[in-house]
Amino acid sequence: MSTQSTPIAAVILAAGKGTRMKSSLPKVLHPVASVPMVGHVVKLALDVGAAPIALVVAEGMENVVAVGREIAGEVDVAIQKEQNGTAHAVLAARPVLGELDGILLVLYGDTPLLTQTTLEQIIETMDADSKCAVAVLGFIPEDAGAYGRLVLADDGTLEKIVEAKDATEDELAIELCNSGVMAIRANVAWKLLAQVKNDNAKKEYYLTDIVALARAAGYTALAVEGDEDEVLGINSRNELAIAEAIFQYRARQKFMDAGVTLIDPDSVYFAADTAIANDVLIEPNVFFGTGVTVASGVHIKAFSHIDGATIGTNSTVGPFARLRPNTTLGADVKVGNFVELKAADVKAGAKISHLSYIGDASVGEDANIGAGTITCNYDGYLKYKTTIGKGVFVGSNSALVAPVTLGDGAMVGAGSVITEDVAGDAIALTRTAQTVKAGGAKEFRTKKSAEKLAKKKA
């Protein structure tokens, strides 16, 4: 949370269709680090203490709104029917935001890498200067291309922004570009925006025009310089991959700085919300989906896929383990190779060492689940629960047909199909008794080799 007390409202522009993604999904819903890019922006707005937060979307983008609500709980929604430019888009939020105090932040839904530190710098810049009506995040890109250029006055303040299409030769030579991120003094925002005209190359209402309008009204404007990596706007799948790479690089550095060992950092992928304590060891080729929390001392072995799971202190997972959503491992749990867990609550000290599927289940403390044990949780229509008590021992290759309960201290003989509850400390065996015929194997071999010889001769 930000410490400043100025009220902040945020407008997140997300009405663009993003045709270059060539996708049926709105551009801002494509994920970076397993979270839709607009989700990163909503989270950032929350983190700097913005309330209200308004999302500007085009018609039919209910799925974008749903992501906003999932993250912020509450968002105001403005539908921009036609995309007539960035100023037009911000103005679309006026009816839902109403009169505001403090600062109005303008963010883009397709710019997910912006950091809280940089955004707070913009807010502080405005806070520190009561004459400043617009503070803009600028950056120096490798290639200025189509970006708007920030024209600075002699005193270093921001004079105006010119769009590349409307710029003179001299203006095009300016290196400092507009990221699009902007803070506007809220009590003049609507008044300034209402003055924006569309007499430009694109016949659009440019948000960037409010810099010159603010100055004409007697205010100043300021530019804050940020890093190109933070303001990468995503328009194509290629840029999506670049953003992912930047995000993952940052995440790997952050975790290593916090005391996590990554044997091969470049092969480990985190979600935006992954939480990992110190002294965790992660082997190569591990993927984290959303909603994962890993406690201290955990060892995650190579090629594991972990999604929506909580892993307790000193547990080991993998190699080749798959933890699916709503799985919780207590302390000192062992989940070994080729084990899949889904909605499994595995208590401290339990071991599921090899080749198992444990779904919709609870596994008691210190239980030992033998190799190849399967919880049969689904009958083709509905799912059912398996409850395995404390200290239970399940023999290898057993099928536990849910709903079923194994009481504390119960045992299941290898190869059993358990369809009924087993009481605590009882032993259940469902396989047929073994029959043995002395010399039978030798007899069989003699008979079969004779048959084979006869067939060859024929």
Residues near Ca ion (CB under 5 A) are: 233
Residues 188-247 that bind ligand UD1 (CB under 6 A): 206-208, 233
Q: Does 15 bind ligand UD1 (CB under 6 A)?
A: yes
Structure tokens given for 302? 């190579």
C-beta separation of 209 from 194 below 8 A:
no
* 142/420 with CB nearer Ca ion: 142
Instruction: Choose the one of ligand UD1, Ca ion, none that binds residue 80, judging by a C-beta under 5 to 8 angstroms depending on kind.
Output: ligand UD1
Residue 231 vs 343, nearer CB to ligand UD1: 231
Shortest gap between Cβ of 150 and ligand UD1 (angstroms)?
A: 9
Stretch in the footprint of ligand UD1 (CB under 6 A) among 8-16, 42-50, 68-76, 251-259 = 8-16
**Size, binding site for ligand UD1 by CB under 6 A:** 27
Of 58, 190, 214, 62, nearest in space to 129 by CA = 214
Partner in contact with 112, chosen from Ca ion, ligand UD1, none, beta carbon below 5 to 8 Å by kind: none
> Which of the listed partners (Ca ion, ligand UD1, none) does 359 bind, with a CB threshold of 5 to 8 Å by partner kind?
none
Closer residue to Ca ion, CB minimum distance, 233 or 289: 233
Kindly state the smallest distance separating residue 141's Cβ from ligand UD1, in Å: 9
Nearer to ligand UD1, 13 or 350 (CB): 13
> What does 148 bind: Ca ion, ligand UD1, none (CB cut-off 5 to 8 Å by kind)?
ligand UD1
Stretch that binds ligand UD1, among 105-113, 188-196, 385-393, 402-410 (CB under 6 A): 105-113
- Secondary structure of the chain in the HEC alphabet? CCCCCCCEEEEEECCCCCHHHCCCCCHHHCEECCEEHHHHHHHHHHHCCCCCEEEEECCCCHHHHHHHHHHHCCCEEEECCCCCCHHHHHHHCHHHHCCCCCEEEEEECCCCCCCHHHHHHHHHHHHCCCCEEEEEEEECCCCCCCCCEEEECCCCCEEEEECHHHCCHHHHCCCCEEEEEEEEEHHHHHHHHHCCCCCCCCCCCCHHHHHHHHHHCCCEEEEEEECHHHHCCCCCHHHHHHHHHHHHHHHHHHHHHCCEEECCHHHCECCCCCEECCCEEECCCCEECCCCEECCCCEECCCCEECCEEECCCCEECCCCEECCCEEECCCCEEEECCEEEEEEECCCCEEEECCEEEEEEECCCCEECCCCEEECECCCCECCEEECCCCEECCCCEEECCEEECCCCEECCCCEECCCECCCCEECCCCCCCCCCCHHHHHHHHHHHHHHHHHHC
Q: Which partner, ligand UD1, Ca ion, none, binds residue 90 by CB below 5 to 8 Å per kind? A: none
**CB of residue 144 to ligand UD1, shortest distance in Å:** 9
Q: Which of 30, 40, 305, 354 is catalytic?
A: 354
Q: What is the contact mask toward ligand UD1 in residues 57 to 96, using x (rule: CB under 6 A)?
A: -----------------------x--xxxx-xx-------
Residue 88: count of CB within 10 angstroms of its CB: 20
Contact map string, positions 140 to 179, toward ligand UD1, x by CB under 6 A: -------xx------------x-x-------------xxx
Q: Are 114 and 44 in contact (CB under 8 A)?
A: yes
Residue 354 appears among annotated catalytic residues: yes
Smallest distance from the beta carbon of 361 to Ca ion, in angstroms? 48
Residue 402 in contact with ligand UD1, rule: CB under 6 A: no
Which of ligand UD1, Ca ion, none is residue 232 near (CB under 5 to 8 Å by kind)? none
The stretch among 108-116, 268-276, 302-310, 317-325 that binds ligand UD1 (CB under 6 A) is 108-116
The interface partner of residue 391, options being Ca ion, ligand UD1, none and the CB cut-off 5 to 8 Å by kind, is none
Residues designated as active site = 354
Chain positions contacting ligand UD1, by CB under 6 A: 13-16, 56, 80, 83-86, 88-89, 108-110, 147-148, 161, 163, 177-180, 206-208, 233
